[in-house]
Amino acid sequence: MQVISFLGPKGTFTHEAANMIGDNLIPYCTIPAVLESVENGESLYGVVPIENSIEGPVGITLDSLAHKFDLKISDEIIIPINQNLMVNPGTKMEDIEDVYSHSQAISQCREFIVQNNIQPHYAVSTANAAKNIVGDKTKAAIGNSKAAELYGLEIIRPNIQDTDNNETRFVVVSKDDHEPTGTDKTSIIFSIYEDKPGGLYNVLGIFQKNNVNLTKIESRPSKKGLGKYVFFVDFKGHRNDELIERIISEIEDKTYFLKVLGSYPEFR
């Protein structure tokens, strides 16, 4: 049976995403550990978050795929993020003094936390926060309903995130990417020459003249100093398509670093 590793612990949103592609799931405690488990063959697939529509990119996932691992993206999963305020059974809103969660979840519920005058604290994950508050009625945790279930907590306020449109995109990573399906996306990373002006402009021009739309463009520091970036770009098409093949080879000519992260079916 195919082993799937995911960013644990159990009861996180990543667990929910991983569950959509299989049952034989093993949690790992960091994103690099998930990727390493795929690289060394302990698991066939790894599931990690790559971006959230409110908080932006997950830096460690992008950086690891760019610089540390030679793995491919073979699929993507997008799930809506509904944050819930969870408490020990019998707790009332006015009992709550402190709330625990992952920093991204705290950020996503900032207005609710301020309005209710609760002190926020960071935990390693939403599930960890849930686990940590068990038995203490002055504390609450923010996370998904799976975590409440897992640790016997009650959801006292559902959907407390500040804005709708809150969704997280996860990638499934493996040693090879996906074969063409007809509705595919391709992810690439590149760095431009710092000393030549208009580097990014020239690369975007290649997509423009070929009428290929970008579905994502994300800048990340190259870790070589302020103002130096790598760009993560997603676009429609499979790297085996003739047009995409040509585009990639043109980009290669205009950049000093290019890595194709993989082609995979678009999530719907």
Task: Please tell me whether residue 60 binds a second copy under the rule CB under 8 A.
Answer: yes
Task: Determine which residue in the list 3, 19, 22, 53 makes contact with a second copy, applying CB under 8 A.
Answer: 53
Task: Please tell me whether residue 213 binds a second copy under the rule CB under 8 A.
Answer: yes
Task: Please tell me whether residue 125 binds a second copy under the rule CB under 8 A.
Answer: no
Task: Please tell me whether residue 107 binds a second copy under the rule CB under 8 A.
Answer: yes
Going 200 to 68 to 107 to 105, the CA torsion angle's sign is: positive
User: Pairing between strand 84-87 and 184-191?
Assistant: unpaired
Q: Interhelix angle for 199-209 vs 242-254, to 10°? A: 160
CA 15 vs CA 79, 86, 214: distances in Å:
11, 18, 29
178 DSSP 8-state letter: P
5 forms bridges with which residues in the sheet?
Answer: 26, 46
Q: Closest approach of Cβ 12 to a second copy, in Å?
A: 16
The nearer residue to a second copy, 97 or 149, going by C-beta atoms, is 97
Using CB under 8 A, which of the segments 39-47, 81-89, 213-221, 244-252 binds a second copy? 213-221
Q: Closest approach of Cβ 60 to a second copy, in Å?
A: 7
Task: Please tell me whether residue 226 binds a second copy under the rule CB under 8 A.
Answer: yes
- 3-class state of residue 124 by DSSP: coil
| CB neighbour list of residue 251: distance below 8 Å, 6 or more residues apart | 188, 190, 203, 206, 258
Task: Please tell me whether residue 216 binds a second copy under the rule CB under 8 A.
Answer: yes
Contacts with a second copy, residue ranges (CB under 8 A): 51-57, 59-60, 78, 103, 107, 122-124, 163, 165, 167, 169, 197-198, 200-201, 204-205, 207-208, 211, 213, 215-221, 223-229
